Structure 1
Amino acid sequence: MTEKMASVVRRAVRAATWAPSVHNTQPWSFGVDGDEIALRADSDRRLRLCDPSGRESLISCGAALMNVRLALRALGYEPRVRVLPDPDRPALLATVRPGVAMMADVEARLLYGEVERRRTHRAGFTRLPVPEPLLEVLVAEAGGEGARLTPVRSEVAVRVLAAVTCAAQDVQSQDRLLSLEVVRWARPPGSSRGDGVPAEGYPRVPRRTRPHFAQRDYAHGHPWGSDADQFLSVSTGVVAVLTTKGDSRQDWIMAGQALQRVLLRASAHGLSAAFHTQALEMFHLREFLRQELCSQEYPQMIMRLGITFDDSGGVRRPVTEVLEER
């Protein structure tokens, strides 16, 4: 492999590490053999209680796969992707090779430029409106990856989503072991860890929006959190649900790719996203949402989209910690 190709492959892996993941667990590892990148699930980073099926872990890994694809296209190569290529190796989620050299894709370069700028938001949004044409673009981005993004227009449906989110959070907060699992991925102020949710990544005293979507309790009784945007974070934003027709491992990986494409496009236009997965981690609530609000499709992510002036930094493990090269 040439030095140029080695650089391309390494940049693609670096991009993958900046994908969003549940509680910033970064549940992936990578192997490079020649010019082939192998994306693997890291079972040690899966949430055993919140995510026993590994659904959220694979959505996270699907987002990482999207970053690899975008990086290769932005660097002038058509990615050759195989998803779940070996049934006898369930941890191997995908392999990607740089294919035919091509003109650098302008759209891919735009989204690739947002990979390290995109941030997960964990509070309310400003009252600045989200443009309707932009929402239509985000819907199209998800559809292009085989998933469906539905902005929730009905006030009643938004209230239902908020209510089940709060109910799930209340129930989960009473489960000591599950709460400890969440706390495991909370980083105290000044922590040098390269994973988990930073103390400055959520508000110290969150303002309630109407309707209110409950946030995770990462501080768990500690006076952690940020004071940024406390007087601006008053809007719920636009609530949206990402769904798929099926609910297999392949669907979860597909959902992750669609989600990341939506997030990067949103970031390119100044939008941030807040995620709410509590209700989707409880089978009966997820099934209720599938039947009553999602037209029988499987909800993979509940999110809020909006504008914020939060510019908190992100944390990631170094590439050397997640990459094995042959």
Structure 2
Amino acid sequence: MSSRTAQEREHAITAALEAGRWAPSVHNTQPWSFSVSGEVISVRADTDRKLRVEDSAGRELLIGCGAAVFNIRTALRSEGFEPVARVLPDPDRPSLVATVGVGAPMEADEHTWLLGGEIERRRTHRAGFTTLPIPERLIEALVGEARSEGARLTPVVSPEAIEVVAALTRAAQGVQSQDRRFSLEVIRWARPPGSGRGDGVPAGGYPREAARTDPRFAQRDYAWRHEWGSEADQSMSTATGVVALLTTSDDSREEWIAAGQALQRVLLRASAHGVSAAFHTQVLEMHHLREFLKDELCSGEYPQMIMRFGITFDDKDAVRRPLSEIVE
């Protein structure tokens, strides 16, 4: 191996670590840490950042870690190396989510460049969308992206089914808002104006008062008991956008990680075409409502994410912890 190749591989590892920290996670908890041994990156679940009330099983934690794994894979490909990924490689170390090695040199294709270019640009949206339509071809492409990672993305087409999903989000949010434990866990990750923290949801990243979509998809109340948050953007309509369900055939830890990789692949492809996503995970945090959704709308598959896709002109900043806090 020439010194130049060694330098290229070292640069690829640095780029992959940087990409990994830009993965999405519930409340932007960033529940991961990375380490490097030789040319292998280890992705570990940071259980200190697990949501004890909302995510007692760690499902959402592993979805976030799966998204980080996908970013690392994509960055290595963008740098010209085939990633060699192993998920849950050591049964004796359950917090070790995956290892990703720097494999053989390869030529990155346009699709890889397309996804890789969106890793730091992708943003989560927390309101209604404009009325601009999303092309049907793009929706079909997003379905294909999820399928390539072993998950299923199903657009919810029927107005009646959309209303059912919306009603479930309202029911779940209504119950959670009455539970002080849920509320305290949410506001723990809501950052005040001027906060220098590199995690959580910054005050400019959520509305002081959530705009209502039609039908209404309930939003997290990050502004609970304080007046932080941004003013509602009057240019935004109450358009719901395209509602979609991300599901897997099983509900194991492997499937949760696969769901995270599929989710991030979908989000990056959407972002490349100017499409953002809003998430509604409250339903999935309540066992009986999640079971109802699985049986009635997901054909028996396990729902891992509820989201709305749409076009917005938001250009909010995103916060992430520096690599010095993440890389062991």
CA distance in 2, matches of 1:46, 1:164: 24
CA distance in 1, matches of 2:59, 2:238: 31
The corresponding residue for 1:159 is 163
What SS does the corresponding residue of 2:160 show, helix, strand or coil?
helix
What percent identity do the matched residue pairs reach? 67
The corresponding residue for 2:140 is 136
Match of 1:64 among 48, 65, 68: 68
What SS does the corresponding residue of 1:302 show, helix, strand or coil?
strand
The corresponding residue for 1:145 is 149
The corresponding residue for 1:81 is 85
2:81 partner amino acid: Y
1:94-133 per-residue CA deviation (whole Å, 9 max, x = no partner) reads: 0001100011232111111100000000000001111111
**Does residue 174 of structure 1 match 2:178?**
yes
Pairwise CA distance, 1:6: 1.8
1:131-173 per-residue CA deviation (whole Å, 9 max, x = no partner) reads: 1110000000001111000000011110000001011001001
**Does residue 30 of structure 1 match 2:34?**
yes
Q: Which structure 1 segments of 5+ residues have no match?
A: none
Q: Could you tell me whether the CA contact under 8 Å between 1:229 and 1:310 is conserved in 2? A: no
1:12-70 per-residue CA deviation (whole Å, 9 max, x = no partner) reads: 01101000000000000001011110000000000010000000000000000000010
Q: 1:28 to 1:273 in 2, by over 3 A?
A: same
Pairwise CA distance, 1:222: 1.6
2:221 partner amino acid: D
1:234-270 per-residue CA deviation (whole Å, 9 max, x = no partner) reads: 2010100000000000000000000000000000000
**Does residue 108 of structure 1 match 2:122?**
no
The corresponding residue for 1:194 is 198
Q: Could you tell me whether the CA contact under 8 Å between 2:212 and 2:238 is conserved in 1? A: yes
Match of 1:280 among 262, 281, 284: 284
1:99 partner amino acid: G
1:31 partner amino acid: S
Task: Compute the TM-score of the two structures, normalised by the length of structure 1.
Answer: 0.98
The corresponding residue for 2:258 is 254
Pairwise CA distance, 1:228: 5.5
Match of 2:301 among 294, 297, 300: 297
Q: Could you tell me whether the CA contact under 8 Å between 2:209 and 2:232 is conserved in 1? A: no
CA distance in 2, matches of 1:129, 1:105: 28
**Does residue 49 of structure 1 match 2:49?**
no
What SS does the corresponding residue of 2:9 show, helix, strand or coil?
helix
Tell me which stretches of 4 or more aligned residues in structure 1 moved more than 6 Å: none
The corresponding residue for 1:309 is 313
Q: 1:127 to 1:81 in 2, by over 3 A?
A: same
CA distance in 2, matches of 1:152, 1:44: 35
What SS does the corresponding residue of 1:14 show, helix, strand or coil?
helix
Q: Could you tell me whether the CA contact under 8 Å between 1:74 and 1:106 is conserved in 2? A: no
**Does residue 233 of structure 1 match 2:237?**
yes
CA distance in 2, matches of 1:283, 1:228: 32
Q: Which structure 2 segments of 5+ residues have no match?
A: none
Pairwise CA distance, 1:5: 1.9
What SS does the corresponding residue of 2:163 show, helix, strand or coil?
helix
Match of 1:8 among 8, 12, 18: 12
Question: Aligned residue pairs: how many?
Answer: 324
**Does residue 120 of structure 1 match 2:124?**
yes
CA distance in 2, matches of 1:27, 1:105: 30
Pairwise CA distance, 1:209: 1.2
1:10 partner amino acid: T
Q: Could you tell me whether the CA contact under 8 Å between 1:266 and 1:272 is conserved in 2? A: yes
The corresponding residue for 2:188 is 184
What SS does the corresponding residue of 1:114 show, helix, strand or coil?
coil
What SS does the corresponding residue of 2:236 show, helix, strand or coil?
coil
